[in-house]
Every structure is written in C-alpha cells, then in structure tokens.
Structure 1
C-alpha cells in the first residue's frame, strides 16, 4: 500500500524504468522483423495488429486493468513501431548507390 504521493511517484518511476527496458527489447525485435517482410503491407500487417490488440485486451482483463486503456496504449505503441519498422524496412531495401 502506498504511504504518500511521493511513494506512489517513486513506484511509478521504478515501473517506468522496467517499461522502457521492455520497449527497448521490443524495438530490437521490430527491427529484426523488418528483414523478414517484403513490402509495406507486410510491415503494416493489420490482421496481426488486431490479433495483438485482442490478446492484450484479454491480458488486461486477467490483470484487472482497463482493456480500453491498454488498447489505446498498444495502438499508439504499435503505430510508433510500425513507423520505425517502415523506416528500417526502407533503409534495408534501398539500393546501394555507392
């Protein structure tokens, strides 16, 4: 049980450290995935996005978290990672002009 606002904030800061570490791991995997996809549609993968959203909404329910909040966070995160992966995909697919 939290004892003060400062205590709550310290706990949130500690969780943020863990979340950022997990996001870094996810980013490395997203960058690796770009190499296996042949086009932008493969990167965008709308069916996969919906599969992930369905799964994390169920996980949120199991964890007594708001499925709506989790979905909104995941949609924002996935959108950012799709942008990153598209950049990575274009970079690795670009012909070498040297």
Structure 2
C-alpha cells in the first residue's frame, strides 16, 4: 500500500479506515489457512508448535525493524493472534 501525505484529519481517518479494512481481510485470510493447517496436525504439541511460533515471531520482528515499525508492538500483536488461532485449533483436535 502506497503512503501519501494527507491534507486533512478526515483524509487521515479515511486512510486509517481503509487500512483497517485491509488488515481485517488479511487476518481473515490467515485464519482460513490456519483452519486448513489443523487438518495436518494430530497432537496438541503440533498445534502449539512452540518452535514454529518462535520462527514466526523472529521473522515478523525482523520485518518490522526493516520497515521502521516497533518490533515489540508487532511481536505483541502476533503473539495474541497466534494464541487465538492455537485455541481455535485445539478445539478442533480435542475430543
């Protein structure tokens, strides 16, 4: 998404609203693939996959730093999102 200078608060808010819409669409798409991944997991450990979580966190922290965004903020957001998806997956595999 291209960044552009805004000339009014209303324009800033419109841009933020558009970004929010895109973020929700992206999170929905991520959830779609997480829901597919659970079909390939058999155990709680495979769902929780602490090694994979740390790989994702390291990757997004690096991407955040490269783009000039606070890596701590991105890590916090991702940890919350990942935990939500893990809870969702666990509901699928537990009897």
- What is the TM-score of this pair, normalised by structure 1? 0.86
Number of residue pairs matched? 91
Measured in 2, the distance between the counterparts of 1:64 and 1:73 equals 16
The unaligned stretches of length 5 or more in structure 1 are none
Whole-angstrom distance in 2 between the partners of 1:26 and 1:81: 10
Aligned 1:73-92 pairs, distance under 5 A:
73-90=77-94
Secondary structure at the aligned position of 1:65 is classed as: coil
C-alpha deviation, 1:2, in angstroms: 2.1
* Contact 1:44/1:82, CA 8 A, preserved across alignment: yes
TM-score by length of 2: 0.89
Partner of 2:13: 9
Separation of aligned partners in 2, 1:2 and 1:74:
29
Q: CA deviation at 1:7?
A: 1.6
> Gaps (5+ residues) in structure 2?
none
RMSD of aligned alpha carbons? 1.1
Q: 1:31 touches 1:88 (CA, 8 Å); kept in 2?
A: no
Q: Which structure 1 residue ranges, 4+ long, deviate > 4 Å from structure 2?
A: none
Secondary structure of the 1:35 match is helix
